Amino acid sequence: MGITVYILYSNQFNKTYVGQTNNLIKRLKYHNSGQVKSTKRYIPWEMLYFEEYSSRSEAMRREKWFKSKTGRKKISEILQN
């Protein structure tokens, strides 16, 4: 089973969130249920983008990249399209 790096978007608050999981559907439901402290204020979340990786270490590197200045620029580009 692969690891997914995902980007969530809250249209109501114009916020994004980057994370990783091995069960994307379950994780989205978890965020939208208000059980994640860092995201519960910005419900509802929608899936903006995701990528699959074969290892946790690859996914962690990509997640970290999305949280960098360059990665945030990429997220902005995704939002504009």
What's the total number of domains in the chain?
A: 1
Q: Tell me the CATH number at 21.
A: 3.40.1440.10
Q: Is the dihedral of CA 2, 46, 78, 39 positive or negative?
A: negative
> What's the half-sphere exposure (Cβ side, CA atoms, 13 Å) at 12?
8
pLDDT tens digits, 65-74: 999 999 999 9
Q: What pLDDT, on a 0 to 100 scale, did the predictor assign at position 81? A: 86
Average model confidence (pLDDT) across the chain: 96
Domain that holds residue 74: 3-80
DSSP string, the chain: --EEEEEEEETTTTEEEEEEES-HHHHHHHHHTT-STTTGGG---EEEEEEEESSHHHHHHHHHHHTSHHHHHHHHHHHH-
